[in-house]
Amino acid sequence: MTKADIVNEISKNTGIEKVTVQKTVEALMETVKDSLVDGKNVYLRGFGSFVVKKRAEKTARNISKNTTIIIPEHHIPSFKPAKSFVAKVKNNVK
């Protein structure tokens, strides 16, 4: 399902114009992104949490040059689904 499909589905179910729904969906996504960039987690009860995870420094290998490199500590965005959401998916996906 794409963003356009989501906009169409919400518009069909609510009767709100697609342009308004698209602006709302875009605003939600921008707000989530901006919050994660600022280091703030986003919690959506019953859906899940968008969180920033810290990855520790680690040593890796460049196989083609046969050298070791150090990957510095960094942060990545992550999504953790709610337990009720996971249970629904487990029971209904075929």
Task: Find the CATH number of the domain harbouring 87.
Answer: 4.10.520.10
Instruction: Give, in degrees to the nearest 5, the angle at Cα 14 between 50 and 30.
Output: 30
Residue 51 scores a pLDDT above 70: yes
Mean pLDDT of 54-66: 92
> Whole domain around residue 39: which residue ranges?
3-92
State the pLDDT at residue 94. 63
Looking at the structure of the chain, the number of domains it has is: 1
The strand pairing partners of 43, in sequence order, are 49
* DSSP code per residue over 67-80: EEEEEPPEEEEEEE
Task: Please tell me the predicted confidence (pLDDT) of residue 92.
Answer: 83
Sequence-ordered alpha helix ranges (H) in the chain: 3-14, 18-37, 83-92
Compute the average pLDDT of residues 69-73: 93
* Contact of 59 with 69, CB cutoff 8 Å: yes
Has residue 73 got a pLDDT over 70?
Answer: yes
Q: What is the pLDDT of residue 32?
A: 96
Place of tokens 């901006």: 34
- Asked if 53 and 17 count as a contact pair (C-beta separation under 8 A), the reply is no
